[in-house]
Chain A
């Protein structure tokens, strides 16, 4: 998994989705990103999928709690708090600058 700034903007959406560039817990505070993949059928993955953290969705990392964990995310018009260990399994790409 490379750092986030290696994103080449010219890729097609499909190709971008197929190329994970980092995990959600590494995204700097305040930045937006797009979920690349979230695979597996364990309860954690399934719950995150149900909550709308699906491949392709745009997510903004709003803040981190004062003690470093959990994270506050903004997606699908709502705010969600998840722990960094759970965010680690969400592979992301950089999102286009314009909001959805």
Chain B
């Protein structure tokens, strides 16, 4: 099993002078370009991304390779007056194509990708702390007949671990430059760029010699794949003989002891729990003041806008559309920055791999690996954080599955919804134990529901759309080391920057669209008519009902200025496109026990779940009071709400339960859907996520309503 064709002999290439297209006739290349393409290829987690950033800065283009969800990062840099296109190929262990990412790497290196020019130079990124295994891929790339430069990352860490590498000798043996780099500190990157420019157009290095003999030597009782691996590793051992020297450095035993402690059955589990607790509580506590500050700043700008802009649609667009959208974006930035600081610290010191090692067993049952634990746990704060944290999962299939499950974890935006309905409609009585009360039990049940449905969905998805993992779970456990602050800062700024840049623009756009649907058409005459009709209806009920108390109180509220304004806002929203859509979907929400107003509130909460509180408030004509205020005004109003033209209350226990179950499972969060789209570089996955979650939510809410009605009576 030798790597794909093109090995060694490409006649006439030596004669191409620099400056001309060095690959005039190789394969099906894309549109001719005078800018040569340089590809970074290497094992997963060897520091390809930070080398990419060190060479080319922020990528000019991030997307997918055609037909597959494999990320493609393209950037451009100039060195010595020469422009070069840099492509980051997916991390692979070998060039025998078995998975989409391996296929992409092989096709790119052999010039068979339709929309990418043939590679003029392959930069093999190899981890100096683990050179033997990293050279396996290098041995395959060296056989492709492409100019090769080897970049040795982590060379400072290797030196600290007592690993000395004679790079000159290695370069001489391999026939290609070997450059030690420390990418985050930009050490060695200039030299690397110089060697890349020199390699373009130069003769490619010789293919590894003697592989065939070594394969024959391996013995016929092994399979061809095993013989190839034996031969390549034998070749590598020969190249490295006398090149690598290891000496024991002080601290090795200490690191060994830390390792034993942190993976210990009791202490390791405790340390893991403590780390997670510290990480996730600080994401809330440390970020809270910053979030308040940002919210305050957005509110201040909104006040300014209200002051300076004339009343009317423009003011509403700026304040309720754009600024509300911007506010919902920037408020996430402190939490994202903190989470990524933690992730970078844990990854930088080597704990991330240990955490995955500890948790793997738990997640293996649903077709995931330990790598998914932190992203899924982060999603309990907010799915956006969790989905962004999936960047640490190297296997694209596991990453996609984790992204699809993340929105099912009960995030903090669901909590206000749960609190409102649990507090207002679930009877507060002990269940078995005196301190265990029913609302708390329902709350725990809702969190559990999310986890259970996620597990079931993982089971289904890994047998249908996403497919089972065809690759075994393998993970390198790096040695303990100090995290680099520049890497941490880099990760944080990259995560926050890409969130603001990519997701931010779209989230604001979606918010503006929802605002437009909720605020137009706007006709004062129609609103006046509706408010008048409402007053008549209340008067009729106050006259007809045995107890005129509630309708009379409503009438009194309509006469206060706040009550009148709220009534007008409610009427306007009901008449908007969104309100009409709410009425239009009423047959759909009827089986859940909802009236059209709940349907409308749920529709309007598409930008974010917690919005439903405000929308319910507006639709049921509550004033501007805080919906969760101590006097429970929203709760009281909801209890008083009746079906149109009757005295039958809308909100009963079964209805409250069905709303909560719906919110536990639905995808009512535009930001999450936008981030899913951005992280998978595809609009299909957000669509799959939205439809599957909405369907699940509907079915579960329907079952809940039916069961609860039967048990307690609707």
- A residues whose Cβ falls under 8 Å from a Cβ of B: 14, 17-18, 37-41, 43-52, 54-57, 63, 65-70, 72, 76-83, 86
Q: A18-B221, A37-B222, A49-B229 are in contact. Are A63 and B475 (CB under 8 A)?
A: no
Q: How far is the CB of B539 from chain A (nearest CB, A)?
A: 67
A69 & B360 in contact (Cβ 8 Å cutoff): yes
B447 at the interface (CB under 8 A from A): no
- B residues whose Cβ falls under 8 Å from a Cβ of A: 1, 93-94, 96, 98-99, 129-130, 132-133, 136, 218-219, 221-226, 228-230, 233, 246, 260, 263-265, 268-269, 353, 357-358, 360-362, 364, 470-479
Q: A46-B94, A55-B222, A72-B477 are in contact. Are A63 and B229 (CB under 8 A)?
A: no
Of all chain B residues, which has the CB nearest A56? B230
Of all chain B residues, which has the CB nearest A69? B361
Q: How far is the CB of A44 from chain B (nearest CB, A)?
A: 4
B221 & A65 in contact (Cβ 8 Å cutoff): no
Of all chain A residues, which has the CB nearest B470? A43
B473 & A46 in contact (Cβ 8 Å cutoff): no
Residues from chain B with a CB closer than 8 A to the CB of A44 are 471-472
Provide the bound-state CA to CA distance between A86 and B369, in Å: 14
Q: How far is the CB of B245 from chain A (nearest CB, A)?
A: 12
Provide the bound-state CA to CA distance between A99 and B472, in Å: 28
Q: How far is the CB of A77 from chain B (nearest CB, A)?
A: 6
B477 & A82 in contact (Cβ 8 Å cutoff): no
Provide the bound-state CA to CA distance between A66 and B478, in Å: 19
A82 & B233 in contact (Cβ 8 Å cutoff): no
A67 & B362 in contact (Cβ 8 Å cutoff): yes
Residues from chain A with a CB closer than 8 A to the CB of B93 are 47, 50-51
Provide the bound-state CA to CA distance between A86 and B471, in Å: 10
Q: How far is the CB of B91 from chain A (nearest CB, A)?
A: 13
Residues from chain A with a CB closer than 8 A to the CB of B94 are 46-47, 50
Q: A41-B223, A41-B224, A47-B472 are in contact. Are A80 and B265 (CB under 8 A)?
A: no
Interface pairs (11), CB distance under 8 Å: A41-B224, A43-B472, A46-B98, A50-B94, A51-B133, A52-B133, A54-B226, A65-B360, A66-B265, A78-B129, A81-B475
Most chain A CB within a 10 A radius of its CB, from B224, B470, B475: B475
B221 & A46 in contact (Cβ 8 Å cutoff): no
A83 & B226 in contact (Cβ 8 Å cutoff): no
Q: How far is the CB of B555 from chain A (nearest CB, A)?
A: 63
Q: How far is the CB of B227 from chain A (nearest CB, A)?
A: 9
State which of B99, B229, B264 has its C-beta within 8 Å of the C-beta of A66. Answer: B264
Q: A49-B229, A77-B246, A82-B474 are in contact. Are A43 and B98 (CB under 8 A)?
A: yes
A81 & B357 in contact (Cβ 8 Å cutoff): yes
A47 & B474 in contact (Cβ 8 Å cutoff): yes
Residues from chain B with a CB closer than 8 A to the CB of A18 are 219, 221
Provide the bound-state CA to CA distance between A62 and B557, in Å: 73
Q: How far is the CB of B370 from chain A (nearest CB, A)?
A: 8
A81 & B474 in contact (Cβ 8 Å cutoff): yes
B226 & A49 in contact (Cβ 8 Å cutoff): yes
Provide the bound-state CA to CA distance between A73 and B472, in Å: 15
Residues from chain A with a CB closer than 8 A to the CB of B269 are 66
Q: How far is the CB of B137 from chain A (nearest CB, A)?
A: 8
State which of B96, B233, B477 has its C-beta within 8 Å of the C-beta of A79. Answer: B477
Q: How far is the CB of B98 from chain A (nearest CB, A)?
A: 5
B221 & A50 in contact (Cβ 8 Å cutoff): no
State which of A46, A57, A70, A82 has its C-beta within 8 Å of the C-beta of B96. Answer: A46
B230 & A80 in contact (Cβ 8 Å cutoff): no
Of all chain B residues, which has the CB nearest A82? B474
B473 & A86 in contact (Cβ 8 Å cutoff): yes
A39 & B222 in contact (Cβ 8 Å cutoff): yes
Residues from chain B with a CB closer than 8 A to the CB of A65 are 263, 357-358, 360-361
State which of B221, B223, B473 has its C-beta within 8 Å of the C-beta of A70. Answer: B473
Provide the bound-state CA to CA distance between A63 and B259, in Å: 10
Q: How far is the CB of B615 from chain A (nearest CB, A)?
A: 44
The 8 closest A-B pairs by CB, nearest first: A67-B361, A49-B229, A79-B477, A50-B94, A39-B223, A66-B265, A44-B472, A50-B93
B360 & A80 in contact (Cβ 8 Å cutoff): no
B358 & A55 in contact (Cβ 8 Å cutoff): no
B364 & A69 in contact (Cβ 8 Å cutoff): yes
Residues from chain A with a CB closer than 8 A to the CB of B264 are 66
Residues from chain B with a CB closer than 8 A to the CB of A38 are 226
Q: How far is the CB of A71 from chain B (nearest CB, A)?
A: 10
State which of B99, B136, B219, B265 has its C-beta within 8 Å of the C-beta of A14. Answer: B219
Residues from chain A with a CB closer than 8 A to the CB of B133 are 51-52, 76, 78
Residues from chain B with a CB closer than 8 A to the CB of A79 are 476-479
Provide the bound-state CA to CA distance between A17 and B222, in Å: 10
B473 & A83 in contact (Cβ 8 Å cutoff): yes
Provide the bound-state CA to CA distance between A89 and B358, in Å: 23
A80 & B474 in contact (Cβ 8 Å cutoff): yes
Provide the bound-state CA to CA distance between A37 and B218, in Å: 11
Residues from chain A with a CB closer than 8 A to the CB of B470 are 43
Most chain A CB within a 10 A radius of its CB, from B94, B96, B218, B223: B223
State which of A56, A78, A86 has its C-beta within 8 Å of the C-beta of B472. Answer: A86
Most chain A CB within a 10 A radius of its CB, from B225, B228, B353, B472: B472
Provide the bound-state CA to CA distance between A37 and B353, in Å: 28
Residues from chain B with a CB closer than 8 A to the CB of A51 are 93, 133, 474
Q: How far is the CB of B72 from chain A (nearest CB, A)?
A: 23
Provide the bound-state CA to CA distance between A40 and B229, in Å: 12
Of all chain A residues, which has the CB nearest B265? A66
Of all chain B residues, which has the CB nearest A89? B472
Residues from chain A with a CB closer than 8 A to the CB of B221 are 18, 37
Provide the bound-state CA to CA distance between A63 and B357, in Å: 11
A49-B225, A66-B264, A79-B478 known; 18 other A-B pairs, CB under 8 Å? A37-B226, A39-B225, A39-B226, A45-B223, A47-B472, A49-B226, A50-B94, A50-B96, A52-B133, A55-B222, A66-B269, A67-B361, A70-B475, A72-B357, A72-B477, A79-B476, A80-B475, A80-B477
Q: How far is the CB of B397 from chain A (nearest CB, A)?
A: 12
Provide the bound-state CA to CA distance between A90 and B357, in Å: 20
Of all chain B residues, which has the CB nearest A67? B361
State which of B132, B229, B362 has its C-beta within 8 Å of the C-beta of A77. Answer: B132
Residues from chain B with a CB closer than 8 A to the CB of A68 are 361
Residues from chain A with a CB closer than 8 A to the CB of B364 are 69, 83
